[in-house]
Amino acid sequence: MIATFQGLLVALLALLPGASYTFAYERVAGSYGISFSDRLIRFLASSALLHAVFAAPEHLLYRYLVVEKRLQNGTVTWWLLEVVALTYVLLPTAVGSLVGWGHKTHKKWAVALVGDAPEPRAWDYLWRHAVQAIVLIRLKSGTWLAGYFGRTPDGRYSYAAGHPEEGDLYLALAFVVDQATGELTLDRENKPTPVPGERGLLVRWAEIEYIDIKEYRT
């Protein structure tokens, strides 16, 4: 147990870089934390790694501010303290965002850091790799639906809900499907025909019976 306020402050400062890194990473790559204990372990691990990487600058800063009593004597300029405080928060955030981006875009160096498949479900792994695809869905009611997973020309993005939420799916552009055969209706250019008005499509996970995904380039 932490018995003093100073001890609590030191503990919070020690965990802050890991917390900033983890939140930034999950904001970009997806949130797969199941509970507070899971995230606490990530905080501790990433904080320990960040402190190890920046141990030399931290030691020099400690000697400059504390050992030489510049902080106690008030001889430190305000802008130096501001730079140190911002760096302490923003640097781990930037690292977390960079690693999250690398993981999301399948960079080899990011895979080496976080692993090839940190996602807890196949559903989450699938949509991280499916950049552009035609999704054909059969509902439990027997209705066929289809849509485009990706970014439409007018700027709408598709989205698949991640863990721990249910796997709801938003397709930015819905296509016309033959309800008798479950086949896409194609136009003269042999491309899927958008529904009138080029609307999007929102499907709940609990309603899906069958799903087929095919890579598609517009």
Q: Which CATH architecture has domain 122-215?
A: Roll (2.30)
Q: Domain-by-domain residue ranges, the chain?
A: 5-114, 122-215
Q: pTM above 0.75?
A: no
| DSSP calls for 148-194 | EESB-TTS-B-EE--TTS---EEESEEE-B-TTT-PBPB-TTS-BPB
What's the pLDDT tens digit per position in 32-69?
A: 655 666 667 777 788 888 888 888 888 888 787 777 77
Q: How many CA atoms lie within 13 A of 152 on its CB side?
A: 19
Whole-angstrom distance, CA of residue 140 vs CA of residue 206: 9
Paired strand residues for 177: 184
* Residue 160 half-sphere exposure toward CB, CA atoms < 13 A: 23
The torsion angle over the Cα atoms of residues 61, 66, 69 and 71, rounded to 10 degrees, is 80
For 118-167, write each residue's pLDDT tens digit: 667 777 777 766 678 899 999 999 999 999 998 888 888 898 887 777 88
In single-letter form, the type of residue at position 81 comes to: L
